[in-house]
Amino acid sequence: MSSVHVVEGHTLTLLHNGAEYFPRLVCAIDSATHSVYLETYIYAADDTGRRVADALKRAAQRGVRTHLLLDGYGSAHLPVSWMDELRAAGVGVLKFRPEISWLTFRRQRLRRLHRKLAVVDGRIAFVGGINIVNDIPGGEVLNPRLDYVVEVQGDTVERVHAAMRRLWALVSWINFKRQHKPGKHLPAHVHTAQQKVLFLSRDNLRHRRDIENAYINAIDGAQHEIIMANAYFLPSQRLRLALQSAALRGVKVVLLLQGKVEYHMQHYATLALYDEMLRAGMEIHEYNASYLHAKVAVVDGQWATVGSSNIEPFSLWLAREANLVVRDAKFAAALRTSLIQEMAQGALMLEHSTWSKRSAWMRLLTRASYAMIRVLTGVIGYARGRDDV
Q: List, for residues 311-339, the tens digit of each pLDDT value.
A: 998 898 889 999 999 999 999 999 999 99
Question: How much is the pLDDT for 161?
Answer: 98
Q: In the chain, where are the structural domains located?
A: 3-174, 197-380
d(CA 362, CA 366): 6
Q: What count of other Cβ atoms lies within 10 Å of the Cβ of residue 244?
A: 18
Contact (CB, 8 A) for 210 and 202 = yes
First to last CA, the chain: 38
Q: Tens of pLDDT along 85-127?
A: 999 999 999 999 986 555 555 555 668 999 999 999 999 999 9
Query: Cα 256 vs. chain centroid, distance in angstroms?
Result: 16
**Which residues are bridge partners to 326 per DSSP?**
197, 304
Quick one: which of 388, 214, 211, 182 has its CA closest to 308? 211
Question: How much is the pLDDT for 327?
Answer: 98
Quick one: which of 235, 182, 193 has its CA closest to 212? 235
Question: How much is the pLDDT for 308?
Answer: 98
Q: Tell me: domain 197-380, CATH 3.30.870.10, correct?
A: yes
Q: Which residues are catalytic?
A: 114, 116, 121, 293, 295, 300
Quick one: which of 217, 198, 220, 197 has its CA closest to 209? 217
Q: What is the CATH number of domain 3-174?
A: 3.30.870.10
Exposure of 322 by Cβ count < 10 A (0-12 exposed, 13-18 middle, 19+ buried)?
Answer: buried
**pLDDT lower than 50: segments of the chain:** 178-183, 185-186, 188, 382-385
